[in-house]
Amino acid sequence: MRRLTAISALIVLSVIFTRCGEDAAFEKHITEGVIEFDVTYPEMDSNNLMLEMLPDKMVLMFKDDRYKSELKTAGGIVEMAVISDASKQRIFNMIKLFSDRYVLELDQAGAKEMTNVLPPFTLKTTSESSKLADARCTKIILDFNDPNKENYEFFYTDDIELKNPNWFTPYSDITGVLLDYQVDNYGMHMRLKATKIIPQEIDTNVFHVNDNYRNLNKEEFDALVVKNMEVFLE
């Protein structure tokens, strides 16, 4: 049951993903490389056994206007990835469950519908700056205008030249790359915080979906998520 629960949680996370001082590495804006994130679950009890099975790292590879984020459980039993192509306005949600592989392709409208899960909010840019993973960052606040919901504090950077990185998310008005942010979906709350930015050449093949992935339509993908959510909520 614990293994099934971990699988269910990873499927939920695949739907969710679908995203500061001067430093020599950032004197020139980098156009390709890797960002490593720590992943935490602020609203989950620290004694919850699920924490042992949920991923605690995310790797994001980027080049120009494309990126691929990857998460996996211990042992790689379950792997998920999201490929974003801003120029073509397409995302690919990819899930590997043991030996089974599935992919859902979405256009801009479909992607925005899937990620539009937050209540209305106002973006408030601040003058506060910080340094995160050696990148210069600006603090921005998501104000939900609701005394019963805590506002979110994000940090983004313009030191990375990833074009239109948030085009399909609720944060599309943020032009920079998010390095410290939170996401919510299907009852799962996560915080992602960058720990390392590595400028390096990225092979464009990483942004291609292999032929061994089975294409699902939106209804099939939703059914897969719902089925595993039922296990997760048991």
| pLDDT at 25 (0 to 100) | 47
Beta bridge partners of 183: 190
The rounded radius of gyration (Å) of the Cα atoms in the chain is: 17
Distance CA 171, CA 76 (A): 30
Token digits of residue 73? 């459980």
If you average pLDDT over each of 65-69, 160-164, 224-228, which comes out highest?
65-69
| pLDDT at 14 (0 to 100) | 55
| pLDDT at 21 (0 to 100) | 38
Give residues with Cβ within 8 angstroms of 102, minimum separation 6: 94, 95, 96, 213, 214, 215, 216, 221, 224
Domain edges within the chain? 2-19+21-233
Distance CA 86, CA 108 (A): 9
Name the pTM for this structure.
0.84
| pLDDT at 222 (0 to 100) | 78
| pLDDT at 213 (0 to 100) | 95
pLDDT at 13 over 80: no
Mean predicted confidence (pLDDT) in 92-97: 89
Distance CA 116, CA 58 (A): 22
pLDDT confidence tier of residue 228, bands split at 50, 70 and 90: low
Token digits of residue 12? 């939920």
Query: Tell me, which fold does domain 2-19+21-233 have in CATH?
Result: outer membrane lipoprotein receptor (LolB), chain A (2.50.20)
| pLDDT at 67 (0 to 100) | 97
Q: Where are the beta strands (DSSP E) in the chain?
A: 32-40, 57-63, 66-72, 78-85, 90-97, 100-107, 122-132, 135-143, 152-157, 177-185, 188-199, 214-216
147: number of CA atoms within 13 Å, CB side? 0
| pLDDT at 221 (0 to 100) | 83
If you average pLDDT over each of 126-130, 182-186, 228-232, which comes out highest?
126-130
122 three-class SS: strand
pLDDT digits (tens, 9 = 90+) for 41-52: 888 888 777 777
pLDDT at 24 over 60: no
pLDDT at 22 over 80: no
CA proximity to 193, closest of 214, 174, 179? 179
pLDDT confidence tier of residue 226, bands split at 50, 70 and 90: low
